[in-house]
Each structure stands twice: as structure tokens, then as C-alpha cells.
Amino acid sequence: MKAQVLLPKIFNFPFTYNSTQNSLKTGDFVEVPFGKKKEIGVVWPGKISDLKNIKIKNINKKINNYSLGQELIDFMNWFAIYNMMPLGLVLKMSIGNNLSLIRKYDKDFEHTQKKVKRFELNEEQKKALKFLNFKNDKFDVSVLQGTTGSGKTLVYFERIKKIINKKKQALVLLPEIFLTNEFKSRFIDFFGFEPAIWHSKITPKNKRIIWKGIISNKIKLVVGARSSLLLPFKNLGVIIVDEEHDTSYKQDEGVIYHARDMAISRASFEKIPIHLITSIPSVETFNNIKNKKFRHFNILKRYNDYPLPKTKIINLNIKKIKNCFISEETIELVKDFLNRNEQVLFFLNRRGYAPYLICRKCGYKQICSNCSMFLTFHKTKNKAICHHCSLEKEISRSCNESEICDFVMYGPGVEKIFEEVSKIFPGNKVEIFSSDYMKKKDQTKSLFNRITNNKVDILIGTQMISKGFNFPKLNCIVVIDADFSGRGYDLRTTEKNIQLYHQLSGRAGRFSTESLIVYQTLSPEDVTLNEIIKNNSEELLKKEIKLREKNLLPPFSRLIAIIISANSHSLSLDGAREIKKHLKKISEIEVLGPVDSPLLKIKKKFRSRLLIRFSGKSLIQKKITKLLNTLKISSKIKLTVDVDPVNFG
């Protein structure tokens, strides 16, 4: 008997082996010889071709008690075709590199029961729960929208409880791994036990324990980042995608995919409901709600009826600030909150101290030697750092004037604002809330504890702080630079701004009737800013939909980006032109470009882009993949395919 075995490697096809066992089924795990090594693979469906003059090796053994369900296999086959990725790499995401997962001495995942806190749903939340409970055993996409602080999480917790009580499994997807610890404590309060947490930073041992608990149906609740989507659930009953609008759901390295869209597809293959949770839906989700493809419920009031923060625009053109970034009017407003022992957040979406360093004598700019990017000065390290390739560089350098360069630092980062705030409010405890300062689990936990216990008066935070965190005493937010211009190459700039600032304002006043968000800006008349202040995000989304339709952009067309990278600029452009010539043979697609990527050089590679536009009614990826596989592409160029690109960097 012959069997096809798929290995978790870069191949797009299974290998044929001989089997002495008649009991082998599709989805079974087996150990096979591969080269000089032993590998763990999965028996895969498909026609076994008649191989002549090739010695077929034997399967070493079947690994008992583990198998993948047909629904997951079908989903992985589709996932690979849709995202134009090798099937073996998709399997690797599901089972890991090698089932070194099978270790007998590993203990099971602990389910220690702890005391449960009582939570009462208000009338709006009860209606929302009834809406989510509407369909249990069929594929159904529903959107639970609610203003930040409205208690959406409690509603879907109740929903999960119902699923778990039926002995089924639940998956909660979160956009950032930083959110998982915050969620963990809320889960324990509600369910009385720890959920299994899955993301790239957990240890191999914990991965083994959790993976085995999921495939054996012993673990009922998984909270995870993108990669948890392909875990081998035995009896999945519901998928929750929290903060569905968040662009962090797009994986843009390695296997490139959009976790929200793939979650909807997995729910479809598993024939189960999926709930998208959001304060402001993505344009695609908003369009699907309008077209009645997704069911929709909106919780309008915040929990316990606390109002959204009041807003104040400070026009920086009138209130000129000399050599600093916080206006006097802002300082007076902030003092009021600090005097009441309440917390304040200064928001600026720029890491480091200063994003640009230019010598005032010779004009030299600190630019990354690997990427076409300015280096950001980080005062904590006293180095200029590239946020793309992590290159670090001393800023001392010889000038044309035969002296040391005298660098002027342009624009603020969070470290600069930290310095300024510490001088203005010397008696207050100030902390930075940014990924650079929260690399270790202990640092993150310690900062959360200090914030929650009111040991921090002022936070300086990047975009990370807008996502799902609950700070009871935070009642004033200052946006240092409310700039809505975007960078030109991101078609989602408006959409992202609507979502970011709506979520940000929702961090304040969760347990207070008096809260404020201050927008310091050089463009006080900006339409997006003024609509956000009126809490009129639906109007903004409607305008965005019309604009996308007029320009034939998603969701009114589909896009696939092909990035061609090479050691020289001319090589990447020539490669792109050659590929375009062949792609034009496919009549159903329009090929735009080639153009230079806005980030022309990353990690020493020059990048050109082609953009394929098509109607989206058929799985055109099959034709494109087939064509690309027939091309003799030079080893000097590398192709990266991005289906449904989120930005065009």
C-alpha cells in the first residue's frame, strides 16, 4: 500500500511512501525517512501517481493518538492556494517543525479552578448575547460592535461559556501578544481557570503541552495571536476575532496572510459560527454588514452609562510652542486631572527620542545603510536605530568641517516627550508604554500592576496603548500631534485613523463622568479629525466606501502585490518588467507597475512592486501560481507574494 505524506517543509506537495499498515487514514501522523533524517509528517489526501524507476521508502511507524480532522486538511489546502504559499509551510504552522511535541514525560495542561467573580450583564449586553447565540451549529459571521468600554468582552465571555459547557472548544484571536496577559487575568476572573495562551514567544515545552491538549480535546479555551488559527482543534465550536479591524492581523513575513479573513474561512470549513468584535469595523467588514453578508449588533452605551470623553482641539498654529511639544493650555488642563489624583496619557505614535538626525554644519543625515530609512535616535541606548532591520549606529562622526558632526534632532519620539513631561511635572511619576520598554514579560506585568494600583501618574504611550487595555484611573489623554495626512502609500490611512482615535478616546473615562481628550494639531480644520470628535465614524466609513468604489479599490476589487527584491535597483526593476510580460497572458487580471516600493531598500535589498487587480469572483491565485512556477526566475532576485495587501510599503 502506498501513502502520500506531507512534511512541514517548504514543499508544495506530499511525498509517496510505502506503508505496511492497512490502518493508515488521511490525517494520521507518521514518522518517515527523509534524506538522512527522520521526519514527522501527515498522511495527506490526493491521487497517488505511479512512480517508475524511483525507489520508494517505507514509512517507519504510525504515531498513535494523533490525527488531523478532514475539515482542517481541507482548510489548509485552500489556505495554501489562496495565499499562494507552499502547503508544507502551512502544515508547519499547524504542527510545528517536528513533532518533538510527542514526549511522554510532559505533563498535561493544568486547569486549576480558582474563585469566579460575579458579573451582571445590563439590558443591552443581554440583547447582544441573544444575538450571538442565534446560530450555534452552522457557519455564520456576526459582528458585535460596541463603543470602547461598553462591555463587549463580557458578552462574548458568556457566549464562550455556553460553547464550553457543550464540551466544545473555543478560540479567541487577539491582534497583539501584549494583550494576552491582560486578557488572561480577565479570563481567570470570569471562568475561574487559565486559558491556554498561544503566541510566538511561549516556550517550546509550553507549545508541546498546549498543542497536545488541543489535539486531544482536553483544552477547551485558547487565547492566541495569528498563528493559533491553524492549531489542530478536535471539536472547535466558535471563533472570536477581537479588535477585528486591527491591521496587526496581517502577517507580513514568512507565510503572508490575513488572520481575520482566514479565521472566517476556517469557520466556514468547520461549519461553525464566528464573531468579529470591534469598536469601529474595518471597511471590508462595514461593507459586508451593509450588504447583509454579516449579521450586526451595536452596543451603543458604555458599561454603567459612563460618557465618552469630552474633546478639545488646540491649534498649534496659534499657540506657538518654542523648543517644546506640549502647549501651555494643555499643561493647565492636565494639571486639573493630576490634582484630582487621576492618570494622564500623552499619546505619540513614534518610538525612540527623535526620528531624524541632521548635522547643522555639513547637512549629513543619519540614514540606514541597509534600508532607505532615517535612523531613529534612542536616548536609552545613545544610538541611532533602524526600525526595519534593527541596525544600531553610534551617532558620533567626523564632519566636513574636520570636527565632530553637530546633530540636530528633528521631531519628537516618546523618549523626548518623557523628558519634557518629567521637567514640566517633576513631582509626578512618569512611565513610557512602548514595545521597546516591554520586551520582557516581567517588565510588562510590573508596569500593569503599577498603573492599576495608581502608582503611575502620567503615561507616555505609542499606538500599542490603544488596544484593549483597561486602566480605571485614566481620565485625560493628550494627542501630541493629531496628524491625519498619512504617508501617501497606505490606502487605509483614513480607516486606520478613525479606528485608532476612536479606540484611544475609549481608554479614558471608563469609570468617570469627567474625562477629556486633547488634540494638539497643525490642521484643526481636518475633516477626519472633526468627524471623529463628533463621534461620527459611520459617516467617515461611508465616505471611505464611496472613495474605494470610485477608484476600484478593495473591497470592490481584489489585489495581489508581488515584490521583486534584488541586490541592485536595475535588477529588481528588470525582473519586475519580465514577470509582468508573462503575467499579461492571464486575461482576467490587470497588472499595474512596476514601480519602486516607497521603502525602496530594506535589509540591503532594492524592491520593485507589481500590483495585480482582479474582480475576485474566482480563485485566480491558481492560475497566477501555475504561471509563476513555469518561469525561470534568476537566483539573483527574490519574489514575495502578498495576497490582499494591507499597505504598500
Residue 380 is assigned to a structural domain of this protein = no
Question: Do the domain assignments include residue 319?
Answer: yes
In a domain, 111, yes or no: no
| Alpha carbon separation from 648 to 566, 576, 637 (Å, rounded) | 18, 16, 19
**Could you tell me if 54 and 173 lie in one domain?**
no
pTM given for the model:
0.90
426 lies in the same domain as 526? yes
User: CATH code at 34?
Assistant: 3.40.1440.60
Both 43 and 168 in one domain: the answer is: no
Give residues with Cβ within 8 angstroms of 603, minimum separation 6.
370, 371, 388, 389
57 with 129, same domain: the answer is no
Calpha distance 196→211 (Å, rounded): 10
Q: Give domain status of residue 369, yes or no.
A: no
Does a structural domain hold residue 113? Answer: no
Residues 6+ apart with CB under 8 A from 378: 351, 352, 353, 384, 385, 413, 415, 436
Q: Which residues contact 565 (CB under 8 A, 6 or more apart)?
A: 572, 602, 605, 606, 607, 608, 637, 638, 640
CA distance 205 to 207: 5
Instruction: Tell whether 394 is covered by a domain.
Output: no
Identify whether 307 is preceded by a cis peptide bond (ω within 30 of 0): no
Considering the domain architecture, whether residues 542 and 636 belong to the same structural domain is answered as no
Residue 359 counted as domain residue: no
Structural domain of 41: 2-68
Q: How far is CA 40 from the centre of its chain?
A: 30
Residues 493 and 567 in one domain: no
Same domain, 520 and 562: no
Q: Which of 99, 114, 89 is nearest to 41 (CA)?
A: 99
201/157 same-domain check: yes
What's the pLDDT score for residue 35?
A: 87
CA 120 to chain centre: 31
Task: Tell me, yes or no, whether 528 and 601 share the same domain.
Answer: no
Same domain assignment for residues 516 and 487: yes
- Tally of domains within the chain: 4
CA distance 326 to 266: 48
Q: Does 15 reside within a domain? A: yes
Summarised one tens digit per residue, pLDDT across range 473-532 is 888 999 998 876 655 456 677 788 888 888 887 777 777 778 899 999 888 888 888 888
Residues of the chain with pLDDT under 70: 50-52, 97-107, 110-112, 136, 181, 319-320, 401, 437-444, 468-469, 484-491, 649
- 514 vs 146, 295, 456, 530, CA distance in Å? 20, 34, 19, 21
Residues 259 and 142 in one domain: yes
| CATH number, position 181 | 3.40.50.300
Instruction: Scan for cell 490634582, then name that residue.
Output: 339
For residue 443, the model assigns a pLDDT of 64
Q: CATH code at 574?
A: 3.30.70.600
Q: Quick one: 129 and 53 in the same domain?
A: no
Per-residue confidence (pLDDT) for residue 441, from 0 to 100:
62
Cell 452609562 maps to which residue? 305
Identify whether 594 is preceded by a cis peptide bond (ω within 30 of 0).
Answer: yes
